Amino acid sequence: MSHKPPAPKPPAQRVQGAALPAARRHPRTGKPAARDHSVATSVPLSRQLQATAAVVQAVRAGRSLTTELACVSPELRPGVQALTFQVMRQLGRAMALRERLASKAPPAAADALLCTALALSWQDEGAPYPAHTLVNQAVEAARQQRQTAAQSGFINACLRRFLREREGLVAETDSDLQARWNHPRWWVARVQEEYPKDWQQLLDMAQQPAPMSLRVDNRHHTVAAYQAQLLALGLGAKAVGACGLQLERAVPVHQLPGFDLGHVSVQDAAAQVAAPLLLQGLEVDRPWRILDACAAPGGKTGHLLACYPQAQILALDVDAARCQRIEDNLKRLGAQARAQVRAADAAQPAQWWDGVAFDAILLDAPCTASGIVRRHPDVRWLRRPGDSAQLAQTQAKLLKALWPLLAPGGRLLYCTCSVFRSEGEDMVQAFLQRNTDARMLPSPGHLIPGKIPTGLPLKHNALGEHDGFYYALLEKDRD
């Protein structure tokens, strides 16, 4: 998803357009936080809050934030996206405050608007507007729409009490793990158990908007040369990974030189590990047959082709619409003729496999996406405690189905954008116990946001503020 540059914070009297703060600090560390990005609009703030609350209500009902934002009208979308991202990152605190203001939840639309206002105003640092402005406009938003008009008095009473007692109410919620860390309690407990030394850092990082990272196609530019192009346009960036750049501020992709020509792609530095890890030490006696299972949206497919143009790649995805995204990405990269894209279930090889073994398989398996909550802050509220175990069954099924398709001596790279061990280390160790013809090659394992990873495939710069990932490179015996 592209992000637009942040707008400056408007003065208090300007409440016509929603914009995020010019600067903010992390609520616990006090360190400057990366900015969310929005643009000021002429739309009244009350309307922005109405639309934001509607998206929040949809997420709480189990719908994807990305999907819901795509349905917001263009004039509202930039502000609503910025506000909604902030609400998602503060929703745990907001829900705890609402429970103290009203033990019984109001109807869903009113509850979403109330929690939206609380999430945006519970602390001064990082608030898009002064608390009293947000409260006034939230009450106005309640009065103006049919879904919440009947509860406008209730919302007004709750928010006025919040303004009077804010300090005490916030202090009361500090002991609530969900409020303090803005993740579901089960999520906090799991991270504490699996990362006893790093859990606070991991949860803190999830609260900070992720940077925009690029992968430079070295067939067109070196990293240094493209970095110089960006600098000439006033866009600062630092080198990350083998061929990546992390921008100082996010920009729409049309502002990136050569983007439409495939000179650069938007891809997190942790995701950029996949292709060079799978292909390291490649012995090219013939073009390798490579399967990119679960390939959408095609970033790793494109990277594989950039690293190894001679490869014969089959890119699969179970969703035909997502396959179109692979096609579109490959077309932009000028690589559409060098990969076959098919809509098929990777776990059902009988439906699509031609019987010729693959030299390499990249399995970027479906997962909880617990490693990319910085980019998708709704994920924490969409997931349920049993989701990881259910997805682990899907991951095991895919590994079982694809391993026989690998040629002797071939490699399978298993990866997930998850920090949960059941979807990473535990999954692979169980697979190795069941498959005595598999051995683990040097692999990074779990890449944790905020920590410098080890075991990476090439000597290069650190990955910067990367996402959470897991990588295991498996090799099949030649006998």
- pLDDT 10s digits, 330-388: 999 999 888 999 999 999 999 999 999 999 999 999 999 999 999 999 999 999 999 99
- Exposure class string for 399-414: b at 16+ Cβ within 10 A, else e: bebbbebbbeebbbbb
pLDDT of residue 41: 52
Give the C-alpha separation, 432 to 411, whole Å. Answer: 14
> Is residue 445 helix, strand or coil?
strand
Please tell me whether the peptide bond between 297 and the residue prior to it is cis, using omega within 30 degrees of 0: yes
Quickly tell me which residue has 């609009």 as its tokens: 41
| Per-residue tokens: 189 | 């407990």
pLDDT of residue 14: 32
Please choose, from the candidates 415, 433, 427, 422, the residue with its C-alpha nearest in 3D space to the C-alpha of residue 470.
415
pLDDT in tens, the chain (479 residues): 333 333 333 323 233 443 333 333 343 334 434 334 334 457 899 999 999 999 999 999 999 999 999 999 999 999 999 999 999 999 999 999 999 999 899 999 999 999 999 999 999 988 999 999 999 999 999 999 999 999 999 999 999 999 999 999 999 999 999 999 999 999 999 999 999 999 999 999 999 999 999 999 999 999 999 999 999 999 999 999 989 999 999 999 999 999 999 999 999 999 999 999 999 887 767 789 999 999 999 999 999 999 999 999 999 999 999 999 999 999 999 998 889 999 999 999 999 999 999 999 999 999 999 999 999 999 999 999 999 999 999 999 999 999 999 999 999 999 999 999 999 999 999 999 999 999 999 999 999 987 777 767 655 568 889 999 999 999 999 97
- The helix or strand, by DSSP H or E, that contains position 109, with its residue range, turns out to be helix 108-121
Distances (CA, A) of 276 to 8, 96, 273, 413, 416: 40, 45, 6, 11, 16
pLDDT of residue 40: 44
Give the C-alpha separation, 112 to 119, whole Å. Answer: 10
pLDDT of residue 345: 97
pLDDT of residue 43: 85
pLDDT of residue 1: 38
pLDDT of residue 74: 94
Q: Which amino acid is at 384?
A: R
pLDDT of residue 282: 78
Q: HSE of 311 in the Cβ direction (CA atoms, 13 Å)?
A: 29
CB 202 within 8 A of CB 448: yes
Residues 6+ apart with CB under 8 A from 105: 98, 111
pLDDT of residue 460: 58
Give the C-alpha separation, 402 to 347, whole Å. Answer: 7
Distances (CA, A) of 328 to 185, 351, 364: 40, 24, 19
Give the C-alpha separation, 17 to 152, whole Å. Answer: 22
Q: Across 176-252, where does the E strand assignment appear? A: 213-216, 237-240, 244-247
Give the C-alpha separation, 363 to 424, whole Å. Answer: 12
Active site residue 307: no
pTM of the model as a whole: 0.88
* pLDDT 10s digits, 260-314: 999 999 999 999 999 999 998 877 677 899 999 999 999 999 999 999 999 999 9
Give the C-alpha separation, 31 to 208, whole Å. Answer: 10
Quickly tell me which residue has 């000179």 as its tokens: 263
Quickly tell me which residue has 């030490």 as its tokens: 281
pLDDT of residue 4: 35
pLDDT of residue 456: 73
Give the C-alpha separation, 373 to 465, whole Å. Answer: 13
Active-site pick, 243, 294, 307, 417: 417
| Per-residue tokens: 99 | 């429970």
pLDDT of residue 375: 95
pLDDT of residue 84: 98
Give the C-alpha separation, 136 to 145, whole Å. Answer: 15
pLDDT of residue 452: 75
Give the C-alpha separation, 345 to 460, whole Å. Answer: 36
